[in-house]
Amino acid sequence: MVKQERAARTRRSLVLAAAEEFDRGGYEGATLNRICQAAGISVGALSFHFRTKDALADAVQEEGMSLTRDVVRQVAAIDRPPLQAAVAVTTELAGLLEESTLVRATARLAVERTDVAKTWASAWVPTVEYLLREAKHNGLRPGTDPSVVAVLATYLVAGAQAHIRHPKATECARPLRAGEHDSDTSTERLNRLWDIALRGIRADGEENNAAPR
């Protein structure tokens, strides 16, 4: 029993160390040596848990996908208008990407291992698309195509990802700051972008310029 617990704990350390390594160097750049070192495990002991780099990458992606799906499910379950819910899914994902090495590694591995893995988008885009279809007669301005808004959502999340990974790649002269706060989280940034984009997308965009939160 104790032995099983210890094995589970070691496996967990390995997955987290692998996520760090994949997030930083990608699939090609990651080395099993560094992963073992970070997890405090000998390379010999590694093979008890994972036989290959592929097996480690699979485990990271499995956990990252499941974490993403959980967050999406929780955010979508809150009772609110569907357009607000769709926007909230994207802003929560921006926060998740910022905070979770597992999720960042999962998104990165998904584009590097297109042959073996599901896209990270498949863990959340269907929910956003569903919510936006629901919003067609309940929140979206008449004539707004929900599928165009869905693509906008995927571009904005890609932008958030680019910003988190390489802040300079999306750097503007004047940083966006939320009021007097010194910090500017990815969630806040994305909310400010939706603020202005939604004014023309929401049915009541004219009356209320604040983005739904």
Residue (of 110, 87, 97, 113) closest to 167 by Cα position: 97
Q: Which stretch binds its own copies (CB under 8 A): 1-9, 61-69, 96-104, 194-202?
A: 194-202
Do the beta carbons of residue 120 and residue 107 sit within 8 Å? yes
**Residues 136 to 175: which contact its own copies by CB under 8 A?**
141, 143-145, 147-152, 154-163, 165-166, 168-174
Q: Note the helical H segments in the chain.
A: 2-29, 32-39, 43-49, 53-77, 82-99, 101-112, 125-134, 146-165, 186-198
3-state secondary structure of 140: strand
The secondary structure of residue 212, as a DSSP letter, is: P
Q: Which of 5, 28, 182, 207 binds its own copies (CB under 8 A)?
A: 28
Nearer to its own copies, 8 or 111 (CB): 111
Nearer to its own copies, 104 or 163 (CB): 163
For binding to its own copies (CB under 8 A), which residues are involved?
26, 28-29, 107, 110-111, 114, 119-121, 125-126, 129, 141, 143-145, 147-152, 154-163, 165-166, 168-174, 176, 189, 192-193, 195-201, 205-206, 209
